[in-house]
Amino acid sequence: MKRNVLAIDIGASNGRAVIGAFDGEAISLREIHRFDNEPVVLNGTLYWDVLRLVREIKQSLRLASAVAEIDSVAVDTWGVDFGALDGKGNLMANPVHYRDGRTAGMYAKALLKIGREEFYDITGVQFMEINTAFQLLALAEFDPDFLARTGCVLMMPDLFHYFLCGAKVAEISNASTSQLLDVRNKTWSRALLGRLGLPSKILPELVKSGTIVGTLKGEICEELGVKPIKVIAVAGHDTQSAMAATPTRADDFLFLSCGTWSLLGTELDAPQLGAKALELNITNEIGFDGKVSFLKNIVGLWVLQECRRQWAGEGVEYGFAELNLLANDAHPFACFIDPDDPVFLPPGNMPERIREYCRKTGQKAPRDEGEIVRCVNESLAMKHRVTADKIAECTGRQYDTLHMLGGGTKSEALCQMTAGACGISVMAGPVEATILGNIAAQLIALGEVENLRSAREIIGNSSEVVVYKPQQTNDWERAYKKFLEVTSC
C-alpha cells in the first residue's frame, strides 16, 4: 500500500511542504506549498515571525490533505533557536533570531563559570555565540524575570510539533545543537546547567529521531477539515535530516549540506573529542539512529543571499543562475574573503562589506556583481577545503569523495569549484536531501522502511546525483595558498 507523508522543511530564509509518496521501492516528491521565512525587527530585537510560520504549516496540511491521503507529518528547521512556554503552555514571546545581538559577550562570560576544555568535553559542540546555551545566558542576565517565569523551552521543530499535537519533548538532533547536551550519554547535562546557573526544569524529555510524538489536535483537524494524522519527530535539525539522506553505502565519507549554512563533516559511531577537535572547534552532533555527525559549521550561501537582497533593494533583481553567469566572465582567483569573519554574520549591505574586507586585506576590491559572486563562490570552495582538511586531521582518515547535498548543488559553479579546491570528486545530490531525510525518518517510524541503511539505498535509487571531478588542480593549489595568506584561516 502506498504511504503518503508530509515533510515540512523550514530554513533560515524560506520553507516548503512536500508530499513524499512511497510505493515500497521508491520515493516520489510533490511540492504543494512554499513560503518565505522573514525575520522581523521590533524595538531593536530580531525575532522569528513564528505565528506566521504556524499559519503556513496549517496551510500546508490543508493543501496536502486536499490532494492525497496523508499518514503523518513532520517539521524540521534550523538549530539553536527556541520558543519559551509558560506554566500553562502558552508561548511567552516570539522566538529571538540567532543573528540578534543579545548573545554578544556571553561566550566569554560562560568561560568564567566553566573552562573551555571541560565545556567541550561534556558537549563536544563547536563554540559559536549563537548557540542556545549562550542565548539562555543572555536571558539570565538581561531578563531574569522572563527566565524565572518560563515553564519549558522547546527547540524550533519541537515547538511546531507542540502546536500541532501538544507534545512537550526535545528531539535529540536539534537538542544537540544547544551545547547543553552530554554528548556521550545523550542526556541533558545537569552538571553543565548548574555551572552556568541555568534551570534544568525548563528542558523537556529527550526523544530519539523518528519517534511518533502524538496525533494532530482535534481543534486543528476541525479547523482545517483534515483527519487526525500522526506527528513524528524526525531528525529535527535540517542538517541531520540531510545527513540521513546521503546516498551512500560507505562507512567513511565526507558530506556537505550546503544552504544558508555550509555544514561539512563525516559520520561516526561515537563522538570525537579531545585536544585536536577542541583546537579546530569541530562539533559532534547527534544524528539519526544515534550516529554522530562530526562536522564544522561554515557560513554558506548566506553571503550571496544578502548580496541579492541588497541588489534587489537597489532595484535590480538577480536569480542565482543569472549571477553565476555573470561570475563566469570574471577573472578567477582575483580576491578572497573568509565567509566566517564576524563582519559577514549580520544582515546588511553585504557587497560593500566584501569590498571593504578585500581592501583591508590588501586585495583589489571586486567592482561589479560578477566579480563579487566569483569572489564569494571561490572563497566558499576554499573554506570547504580548509574544513575537509581539519576533519581528516582529526579522524586520521583519507576521503576521496565529498557528498554535496541541498540547495547549493543547484550551482554547478560552486560544485565544480569545491571539487577543484578540495582535490576530490564531488557527488552532488540529491537537491532535496533535507526533505528526503525527513520523509525517510517518517517511513521508518511508520514501519515502512527497515532502517537508515535501507532508507539511503532507496533515496539513492530515487534521486539524481551528478559527479564533478577536480579540474585545474595546480591552479587551485596556488590559489589556496593565497587564500590562506589573506584570510588567516
- Supply the residues annotated as catalytic: 238
Nearest Cα to Cα of residue 54 among 224, 302, 191: 224
For β-strands 27-36 and 14-22, DSSP reports them as: antiparallel
265 touches 282 (CB < 8 A): yes
Nearest Cα to Cα of residue 76 among 26, 20, 124, 136: 20
Cα distance between residue 317 and residue 193, in whole Å: 47
DSSP-derived 3-state class of residue 264: strand
Residue 489 neighbours by CB under 8 Å, 6+ apart = 338, 382, 383, 386, 483
For β-strands 72-76 and 230-233, DSSP reports them as: parallel
| Apex 405 CA angle, 27 and 439, nearest 5 | 30
Strand partners, 425: 401
DSSP-derived 3-state class of residue 36: strand
Helical H segments across 199-319, by residue range? 218-224, 238-244, 275-280, 302-313
What would the DSSP string read from start to end of 407-459? GGGG-HHHHHHHHHHHTSEEEE--TTHHHHHHHHHHHHHTTSS--HHHHHHHH
DSSP-derived 3-state class of residue 198: coil
DSSP-derived 3-state class of residue 330: coil
Nearest Cα to Cα of residue 199 among 190, 207, 212: 190
347, with CB counted inside 10 A (0-12, 13-18, 19+), is middle
Helical H segments across 329-432, by residue range? 350-360, 369-395, 412-422
88 touches 195 (CB < 8 A): no
Cα distance between residue 132 and residue 80, in whole Å: 5
Q: How many CA atoms lie within 13 A of 182 on its CB side?
A: 11
Q: 423-446 burial, b for 16+ CB within 10 Å, e for fewer? A: ebebbbbbbbbbbbbbbbbbbbbb
Question: Residue 342 has which C-alpha cell?
Answer: 564576524
